[in-house]
Amino acid sequence: MPKEKVYVPVVEPKTTSCVEYIELGRIVTPQPVFKKDTVRVRLLQRSLGNPAETFDTEKNWEYDVPWTAEEIEIRSTVKQEATVEVTNA
């Protein structure tokens, strides 16, 4: 039996006095086969450290968020037998 993986939650950076983050877009793609969501984030990072030389950098992040036990549905398949009567007309 394989070992259970321990997932560390992703902490996105916050805006500080030196760096400003502006979210340009976010796409969440569910992947039911792997029981996780893939998150793709586009950010604009604006460096404010030196007021004479501010610059922008566009960043792309991609990370996975595993599903919790409550989000995973367990479906049981039950076969039902039905009797059909055939009448000759």
Look-up of token digits 């000759």? 88
Ranges of beta strands (E only) in 1-89 are: 19-31, 36-47, 55-66
Kindly state the tokens that stand for 31: 């992947």
Q: Quick check: is 10 in a domain? A: no
Q: Quick check: is 53 in a domain? A: yes
Dump pLDDT digits (tens) for 69-84: 765 555 556 566 667 6
Question: Quick check: 56 and 45 in contact, CB under 8 A?
Answer: yes
Closest CA to 27 of 42, 44, 10: 42
Domain range enclosing 25:
19-66
| Cα–chain center distance at 16 | 25
pLDDT in the model for residue 49: 86
Share of residues in the chain with pLDDT > 70 (%): 83
| Number of structural domains found in the chain | 1
Q: Quick check: is 79 in a domain? A: no
Closest CA to 11 of 2, 1, 3, 21: 21
Tell me the whole-structure pTM to 2 decimals: 0.64
| Cα–chain center distance at 67 | 9
- In this model, does residue 66 exceed pLDDT 80? yes
